[in-house]
Structure 1
Amino acid sequence: MYGAQEAQEARNSNRLLAIRLETNTSCNLHCRYCYAQSGEDSVKIADFNALKRIISEAKELGIKSVVVIGGGEPTLYPNFRELIAYIDSLGIVPMIFSNTVLMTEELAEFLYGHNASVMGKLDSLKPEVQDYLAGREGAFEDIKTGLENLIKAGFSNPAEPGKLRLGISFVSNKMNLEEIEEIWHFCRQNNIFPNMEILTPTGRANDELEDKLLTADEIKKVQIKTAGYRPKILRVRLASLHPDYCKRLSSASLQPVHQYRRKRPACAPTKLDEHPALRINGGYPYNVNRMSLKEIYNSELFTYVRNIDRVLEGRCGNCENIGECIGCRGYAYSVGINNGIDPLKALRMECQQCFK
């Protein structure tokens, strides 16, 4: 992850720090909160040569890392290992988001040897809760085995303090709310980066977990609780100002992470490509099959997005922490769009998760 200063410097010099690749929409789980609604019946697969071209274009823009998030489960991508090896060969850090179900000892060793970082998932320490949220019986045991293989390969042994290569992402909701503190401590005790997310009203969550969304008071409670475990300077919900991305900071950091989609939105939950107001002549133009990555990056829409800190509204616009935090733009966007608000206005709405 990148600090706010580095992110701002990159933005101001018109340089990318990282991109995010969605390689395939197929998945061996059916997570009830999935923004992409991926699953076993989803078969979209990105062309490997196209991905190499995109990475090459991104390298020219200065990237340091590539997030391979799949869209589904990236380890199912037919050219997964070739992709990781290619990223590593360019001196770029591969950052893998995986449910770890297919994470064998041999695959974990391969990723470790290619300088990858891995963000796994663990939404609950209770098998029945994890299985329900993942949409498949036995998911907990498979996830647990995969995480154990990553630890065995050395991912929880940082080369230096604070430079972690293994993280766990957990989506906070009414089913696991009382476990968040325990999951957080589990991560810290095992040199694992805790990546806490808040259940966002988008994708499959709107249909399957509508009653599991946290209230404003519940979000405040969990944010205050976890803030107590971070350095004083980070005791607000922090987010990087890196172009097109928002994320939390913590006392430890993974090797750099960021994002990219073939149809490029500001961050995964925003889904700008699906909003009719942002289409030109009936289509969403910011597609790497029609424009270069540099053209997309310098377009009016994405110039607006990566300068969103200058037009934030409400408490965010007047916040003394704006140099380090822009709140969660994805959550604000999802809530705004669901209430019929214009997409550009939704992007600049005040953070719906801030406990200040």
Structure 2
Amino acid sequence: MTARRMRTVVRRPRHAVAERPFIVIWEATRACPPACLHCRAEAVTARHPDELDGADARRLMDAIAGFGRPGPLFVITGGDPFQRADLTDLVAYGTSLGLRVAVSPSGTPTLTRENLVAVRDAGAVALSLSLDGSTAERHDAFRGVDGVFDWTLDGWRTARALGLRVQINTTVTRESLEDLADVAALVRREGAKLWSNFLLVPAGRGERLEPLTAREVEDVLHFLHDCGTTPATKTTEGHHFRRVALQRRILDAHGERPRLGPLYGRHMARAAELGLFRGERRTARRPPVDVSSGRGFVFVSHTGEVHPSGFLPVSAGNVRGRPLTEIYRDSALFTALRDPSLLRGRCGACEFKAVCGGSRSRAYGFTGDVLESDPYCAYEPGSFPYRDELRSLTESTRCRPPGAPYGA
């Protein structure tokens, strides 16, 4: 296996992530009609009086543009960002600065063709929508409001017809676990640029949901890897998906398969029953991107607090008092998260730590320590057999020091 082929297993940003994030997500509001079981924001129906106003939001976008070119992807999320009357103006302003702007609305009656046309015409390039069940019964029960499934599907189809790139987000919980193959089939049938699976983090209302076991998560990650040639697939707060991609590339080269559990077998059997792997498929899987909490990723709350992730409720500062560029580059929290040598427990001992590092949000949610082990990872450090090939892979994708250029 050539070094060039190995490097494509995990995609790297083209710039030093210690200097410039790959993606900035702004929680424009926490106002949102549904009452989703997993909601990290514990969203409410009314807007918060201390939300960043239009002038604050423009200053935030100025700061994001100040990171330089290529600018980070800027995602306006919520809550439901359509609850803000100035959403279209903000999209237009970000676009005028040269930012690539995406919008992540909720499935509500605001998800209309008129609103989608407005954000597209203002310059939005993409839309992300949540789908946590393959049927209205499943999805609406998870979202806590009847009709959300139909609103989401209508908005999804409209967005695609308008030329917007669509990402579908699915939260992997005990409730959705056995439905993943059906959701994958729906995503393939309706069409999406990307299917992103969010591995549950115990934050907000998500603290009340039953966690998965590490072995279940391992089966899910391998199933998602196998789905990668049908809908393009990624994970959020599932950074060990990169480990799986590296392992599977090496095992495939040796004609070997991983030893997985019964959940993986059920997923694959259901996928075969649904015809998920029949017909036209992508020529290659979409390589996961080497971006993690505070390392290429930054989240700004509705009140301006800056977090390494929306699922990690530890603030490094507020954009009203300190420039985002300064917080991202220099704060103690962010610089610590970019140093894999500081990780503790099994994550600290793991040979994949520079390219995976585990979910810092989940580590904090379960232990109160952002540098502890990710309890959703079943891998035992040092147990993968092909050490030389693995070393070549992990060294080709390891973090660069600040200012060092990234390869393609």
Partner of 1:349: 372
Which of 57, 63, 86 aligns to 1:57? It is 63
1:72-127 Cα shifts (integer Å, max 9, x gaps) = 11111121000111111111111222224222122223333414211101100121
CA distance in 2, matches of 1:138, 1:151: 20
5+ residue gaps, structure 1: 156-164, 247-256, 274-284, 338-345
CA distance in 1, matches of 2:325, 2:345: 32
Residue 184 of structure 1 pairs with residue 196 of structure 2: no
Question: How far 1:172 sits from its partner (Å)?
Answer: 1.1
Which of 90, 94, 100 aligns to 2:101? It is 94
Over the matched positions of the two proteins, sequence identity in percent amounts to: 21
Residue 19 of structure 1 pairs with residue 24 of structure 2: yes
Aligned-residue RMSD, C-alpha: 2.5
Structure-to-structure mapping, 1:1-356, within 5 angstroms:
4-6=11-13, 9-12=15-18, 14-44=19-49, 45-62=51-68, 63-70=71-78, 72-101=79-108, 102-113=110-121, 114-155=123-164, 165-189=165-189, 190-207=191-208, 210-211=209-210, 213-230=211-228, 234=242, 236=244, 240-241=290-291, 244-245=294-295, 259-261=299-301, 262-273=304-315, 286-337=317-368, 346-356=369-379
When residues 97 and 115 of structure 1 are mapped into structure 2, their CA distance, relative to the original with a 3 A threshold, is closer
Aligned residue for 1:166, secondary structure, equals: strand
Partner of 2:234: none
Structure with the bigger RCO (C-alpha within 8 Å, sep 6+) is 2
* 1:68 aligned partner, one-letter code: I
CA distance in 2, matches of 1:191, 1:16: 25
* 1:173 aligned partner, one-letter code: T
Question: How far 1:323 sits from its partner (Å)?
Answer: 4.1
Partner of 2:405: none
Aligned residue for 2:311, secondary structure, equals: helix
Partner of 1:159: none
When residues 215 and 242 of structure 1 are mapped into structure 2, their CA distance, relative to the original with a 3 A threshold, is closer
CA distance in 2, matches of 1:314, 1:4: 26
Question: How far 1:286 sits from its partner (Å)?
Answer: 1.0
Partner of 2:237: none
Partner of 1:251: none
Question: How far 1:49 sits from its partner (Å)?
Answer: 0.5
Aligned residue for 1:27, secondary structure, equals: coil
CA distance in 2, matches of 1:85, 1:300: 30
CA distance in 2, matches of 1:53, 1:168: 29
Is the Cα–Cα contact under 8 Å of residues 342 and 348 in structure 2 kept in the other structure?
A: yes
Aligned residue for 2:103, secondary structure, equals: strand
When residues 17 and 224 of structure 1 are mapped into structure 2, their CA distance, relative to the original with a 3 A threshold, is closer
CA distance in 1, matches of 2:364, 2:345: 14
Aligned residue for 1:288, secondary structure, equals: coil
Is the Cα–Cα contact under 8 Å of residues 113 and 158 in structure 2 kept in the other structure?
A: yes
Give the structure-2-normalised TM-score: 0.69
Give the structure-1-normalised TM-score: 0.78
Question: How far 1:245 sits from its partner (Å)?
Answer: 5.0
CA distance in 1, matches of 2:317, 2:199: 28
Is the Cα–Cα contact under 8 Å of residues 10 and 17 in structure 1 kept in the other structure?
A: no
Partner of 1:342: none
Question: How far 1:302 sits from its partner (Å)?
Answer: 3.5
* 1:194 aligned partner, one-letter code: W
Who wins on radius of gyration, i.e. which is larger? 2
CA distance in 2, matches of 1:28, 1:295: 35
CA distance in 1, matches of 2:216, 2:47: 34
Is the Cα–Cα contact under 8 Å of residues 202 and 334 in structure 1 kept in the other structure?
A: yes
When residues 183 and 20 of structure 1 are mapped into structure 2, their CA distance, relative to the original with a 3 A threshold, is same
Is the Cα–Cα contact under 8 Å of residues 294 and 308 in structure 2 kept in the other structure?
A: yes
Aligned residue for 1:98, secondary structure, equals: coil
CA distance in 1, matches of 2:350, 2:290: 15
Provide runs of 4+ in structure 1 moved above 6 Å.
none
CA distance in 2, matches of 1:228, 1:312: 29
